Structure 1
Amino acid sequence: MKTVLIVDDAVTVRLYHRELMEALGHRVIEAENGVEGLERMADAAVDLMLVDINMPKMDGYRFVQAVRSDARLGSVPIIMISTEAQYHDRARAFSAGANLYVIKPTEPEYLQQLVTLLLGTPDAVVSVGDHA
């Protein structure tokens, strides 16, 4: 069982992503912002992160930069998921260290396919189309 950290200030988004991850058989940890996300990872090993951009206290960009500067967490895959759809938002996410960038609202099957791909789930058949 893999552990997915969901960092988003919207309760409904966290619930939606939790349901999608649990349907894949993953354990889920939630955080309302980047500061809380870093605190949650101090207590548990995380295999993948789903991170929003616009959050109070610490936004997604700063959170990803903090994760990438931590030797213990630096290689954990990160999918940034945001309503921000401009090229500069995507470029800034990748510059911060995100592996993938997805625009909300996400199609459930697409997000599950990306997670499966990044986690290297055995025997998974993944077909990723152009949803960027």
Structure 2
Amino acid sequence: MKPITSDCKNLLRKENEKLCISKQVLEKKIEELLDLQEQYKSRKVAMIRFLKESSRKVTQLSDLVVFFKSTIHDMRKAIASAEKSIDMLENKCWYLEDIISAKNRKIITLADQILSKIEHSDVTIEPEIYSSTHERKL
């Protein structure tokens, strides 16, 4: 019976060696998986940080867009108001030019009347006419 026991021992020893090798391979695989798990966790933390930073930047940009839209709206209002003021001032300028022109015509008429009353004046000399009529664009 010794040979059977001896064969069994040999088989058991070979099987044990195979199992030891398998155990070493599995331990190595487990180490690799643990390393990969650590890398995954590290990358996950980095991605979460990146996403938070990106989210913060998106929020800042959104706030800036809202601010600039508001600023643009306010500027458009200011420009419209300025254009209205410019139009009013141009109308006032034209009105004043018309008044000045009318006053000039009245002065020339009075000067003509005065010159016609003076005895020794030369009535052939005509006074200079100042015309400052402004063509309005309608």
Q: TM-score range by the shorter chain?
A: under 0.3
More strand by share: 1
TM-score (normalizing by structure 2)? 0.16
Instruction: Tell which structure's C-alpha radius of gyration is larger.
Output: 2
TM-score (normalizing by structure 1)? 0.16
